[in-house]
Amino acid sequence: MSGETRTLADFAVGLNYEDIPGPVVERAKDCLIDTIGAAVFGSTMPWSKIVAGYVKANGGGGACTVLGPDGIRATPPMAALANGALAHAFEMDSLRQPSAGIHPGSTLGPPVLAMAESIGASGRDLITAFIAGNEVMSRIGLASKHSSEKMGFHAPGLVGPIGGAAALGRLLEFDVDRIVN
């Protein structure tokens, strides 16, 4: 695998909560709180009810919370799907400035929250994983210079899975090779 991919995976694996500056931790907390608020608001949209219904029918009954008033529980992947859709349902979710073409809250927040809830991770581990994935996703987004959007693709759908792999790999304590894979 390329040197750049390994460098990003090394960063995700090596990031420790104690090494993260306080203002960065606070910004990550703000982003996650904002994401939860956006998802709860998004859960009231008619199109969100369709997603929540799909998740309930196909992955309901799991250990993870689907945000909103309906009290749906789902498997980690289905909770991440639902909460990502809910958080982005009304375009009120977080952005990155200067723009890297990403929405870290709705792209990384839902899978990190779902997996953290599923495995009983600490708040510090959740924050560390979220920051690791956000940094990886941001660097890829900045390096791409919006080229994906110029070709007609929404950038979060392309850089988000890579940031998500880094975040969840960090949360699940994967080694570098496993994250790179």
CB neighbourhood size of 36 (10 A): 19
Q: What is the pLDDT of residues 48-71, one digit of tens each?
A: 999 999 999 997 889 999 998 888
Share of the chain above pLDDT 70, in %: 92
For residues 79-86, give the mean pLDDT: 94
At residue 66's C-alpha, the angle toward residues 38 and 139, to 5°, is 55
Asked if residue 113 lies in contact with residue 125, where contact means CB atoms within 8 angstroms, the answer is: no
Q: What is the pLDDT of residues 15-43, one digit of tens each?
A: 999 999 999 999 999 999 999 999 999 99
For residues 151-179, give the mean pLDDT: 89
Provide the pLDDT for residue 89. Answer: 82
Reply yes or no on whether the pLDDT at 133 is more than 90.
yes
pLDDT band at 159 (very low <50, low <70, confident <90, very high): confident
DSSP secondary structure letter of residue 67: P
Provide the pLDDT for residue 166. Answer: 96
Asked if residue 6 lies in contact with residue 65, where contact means CB atoms within 8 angstroms, the answer is: no
Provide the pLDDT for residue 101. Answer: 66
Bigger pLDDT: 102 vs 50? 50
Reply yes or no on whether the pLDDT at 104 is more than 70.
yes
Reply yes or no on whether the pLDDT at 100 is more than 80.
no
* Burial class of 73 by CB neighbour count within 10 A (0 to 12, 13 to 18, 19+): middle
Provide the pLDDT for residue 157. Answer: 76
| Global pTM value | 0.91
Half-sphere CA count of 4, side-chain side, radius 13 A = 6
Provide the pLDDT for residue 95. Answer: 62
> From residue 125, how far is each of 77, 92, 139, 143 by CA, in Å?
19, 26, 21, 27
Q: Is 74 helix (H, G, I), strand (E, B) or coil?
A: strand
Q: Distance between CA atoms of 91 and 106, rounded to whole angstroms?
A: 10
